[in-house]
Every structure is written in structure tokens, then in C-alpha cells.
Amino acid sequence: MRNGPMERGSTPADPPLDLAIVILNYNTRDLLSNCLDSVFASQGEVRYRVCVVDNASTDGSAEMVRSRFPQAHMIANPVNIGYSAGNNVGLRWFGFPEANGPEGATPARYALLLNPDTLLPPTALAEMIAFMDARPTVGVAGPRVRRPDGSLDKACRRSFPTPQVSFYRMTGLSRLFPRSKRFNAYNLEYLPEDAVHPVDSVVGAYMQVRREAMTDAGLLDEAFFMYGEDLDWAKRIKDAGWEVWYNGAVEITHVKEAASSQSSKSRIDFYEAMWIFYRKHYQAQTPWLLDKAILFGIVGKGAMDTGKHFWRFCHSKDDETHASTPTSTKTPTAVAPAQASGRDWGEG
């Protein structure tokens, strides 16, 4: 087995890839560059290839990849089609879930969804492949994920947000009893961070999926634009008979929310994803009264969250306007034309 990325000139007669890496990018050029540096510095006997899918970035991300990382395959979407659809573009280019990969080659044994705001230690890819090779019933695996401040990204090991689990989370009981198996089942904080154990889902920032599991469950559901797609994929893969495992012995770094920047639209996408996931997997088995309570809970919490965000946004823009206004008698229209445009409003 040859170490490192598979060259563009490789033929269908070559052994199949161990890993097909899909990195979906949206306006995170510098973070993406650092991520690719860490990927191509990987060590160990791993045959892999990288496909970067760019969702219509305006920061020169695509040009940077083409110039700095010619060994990566670059796909530039003309519009932002969302996280699920964008990743599916890369997965289909690699040949998933069908039988033919690039240039007619057999698809890789595993696919990896990797966020552009992640950094991998040199042995992470090899260790995660070895982990799944040793456990043939595992369809999905993910490592421990650290934030830059050293804290754990709690999304890296989760239970499914069933109505009961969601109730404990939305009412704050999970925060009051973080070590409780009952009240904090969602984030599993009662388990050691370096443990190795089965879970319901790992995070899409590093989500390694077995080829056969994709054949059974299909690709990402494109009804999810930005959030919830990893939970849904893990749910469908588990429902197909595969296991999902968290490997706390391997650690990566994740600069979370770099692409979304917590915009108001991203918050709306978040609550829409909550409802889509619930409707798809749990609504049919939920009593009518509880179903309506869940609906009003999601709508109410979403309205409060987005309203709070919009309130902060308006006040921050007011502060910026006052700070930029000079003390002279010039008319305000000559001061800050950029702030009078619709650009800041649209991007908020």
C-alpha cells in the first residue's frame, strides 16, 4: 500500500483508495488552506484523495486551492447549494454510493466529510482507518474534537434528539445535571472524553463513513441545508444495521461556526433542521398533544433566539454608525455610504 494522496494519473487497475476526503467550503479560504496543509502532511500507510467543493465563495477560495493544492480535485458550484447538497456533489464525484469512482476506479473503502475549519494531526487519518478496519460492523466513526480554546466540541458524540432527550435539553435540565445519564443523554458528558464507545452520532466536521454503509443508507438528505444532516445520516445508517462509534483516542481541532458566523439565517436554518429531523424520524410515533408541544417549543425557542440575535445585530450596527460619525457639521449622508447600503442588512 502506498503512503499519501493518490495521483490524478492513477488508473482503475490500482488498488482502491482507503479514503475519499470531501471538504465543503464557503468563504473560509485561510482556514481551508491550513486544513489542506494538515491533510497533506498526514503520515501512515493511507491511500487517499481530496475533493474540495466550493459553494460559490467570494473570497478567492477556489483560486487558492487550484494554485496551492493542485493535487486536490476542485469543484466550484455556481451558487451556494447548502451543506448536504454540496457534500453530495463531492461524494458522487468519488463514485458513492454507486460502484464506479473517478476514471472508472472502485470507490474508496471509506468516505470522510471534513470541515475546512479543522486541523488534523499527522496520524489522525491512519488511526481512524485502522480503528474502523478493526471493527467491521462500524458504519460511521468520528474522533474527539477540540475547540481552539481547548474545550471539547460537545457535538462530536451525541445521542439522537428524541422528544424526551430534546425536552430535557430545551428545558435546561441537561445543563443543571450535566453528569446525568438521564437528563444529559444528548451530549454524553457523563462519559470520559478519551473513551472509545458506541454513540448515536458523531459530528459532520469529521465524519468517516464505510462505503457499504452508504450503499445501504444512501447519501446525505438535501432537505437539510446547513444543520442536522449528520444526525440524520447517522440515524439512517444505524437504522440500516450499522454501528456508530466515537474514538476518543484520536483528537482533531475544529474552529466551529467559522462559515456560518452565527448569522440570523444560520439560526433559522438550525431550527428548521430540528423540525425536519423530528418530522422525519419521530412525528409519526408521537401523540398529538406532545407533537403540538414540540412544534410550539421549536417555534418559540427559534423565535426568541433569532429575535435576540437580530436585536444584538441592530444595536451593534447603531454603535458602529455612532462611532464612525465625525463631530463636524458635514451631513450624515457623506460620512459612511457603505453603512447606508443594503449589504450589511443582507449579510446580518
Domain ranges of the chain: 4-158+199-255, 259-319
H/E element, 254: strand 243-254
The predicted model gives 158-179 an average pLDDT of 82
Q: Is the pLDDT of residue 201 over 70?
A: yes
Round the average pLDDT of the chain to a whole number and report it. Answer: 82
Q: pLDDT by residue (tens digit) across 111-157?
A: 999 999 999 999 999 999 999 999 999 999 999 999 999 999 999 99
Q: How far is CA 330 from CA 319, 321, 334, 337, in A?
A: 19, 15, 7, 13
Q: Is the pLDDT of residue 348 over 70?
A: no
Is-contact 72 78, C-beta < 8 A? no
Cell of 95: 463514485
Could you tell me the pLDDT band of residue 261, with boundaries at 50, 70 and 90?
very low
At 63, is the secondary structure helix, strand, or coil? helix
Nearest to 172 by CA among 160, 186, 158, 159: 186
pLDDT at 6: 58
**Torsion angle (degrees, nearest 10) of CA 44, 49, 55, 61:** 70
pLDDT at 228: 79
Q: Which residue has the higher pLDDT, 226 or 93?
A: 93
pLDDT at 287: 73
Write down the pTM of the prediction. Answer: 0.78
Best mean pLDDT range from 7-21, 193-207, 246-260? 193-207
Q: Is the pLDDT of residue 299 over 90?
A: no
| Level-2 CATH architecture, domain 4-158+199-255 | Alpha-Beta Complex (3.90)
Q: pLDDT by residue (tens digit) across 15-26?
A: 789 999 999 999
- Nearest-angstrom CA–CA distance, 287 and 305: 27
The predicted model gives 277-301 an average pLDDT of 72
Strands 206-210 and 138-146: antiparallel
Q: pLDDT by residue (tens digit) across 53-77?
A: 999 999 999 999 999 999 999 999 9
Q: Is the pLDDT of residue 13 over 90?
A: no
pLDDT at 8: 46
DSSP codes of every residue in 44-67: SS-EEEEEEEEES-SSSHHHHHHH
Nearest to 212 by CA among 106, 293, 304, 130: 106
What is the percent of the chain where pLDDT is above 90? 54
Q: Is the pLDDT of residue 2 over 70?
A: no
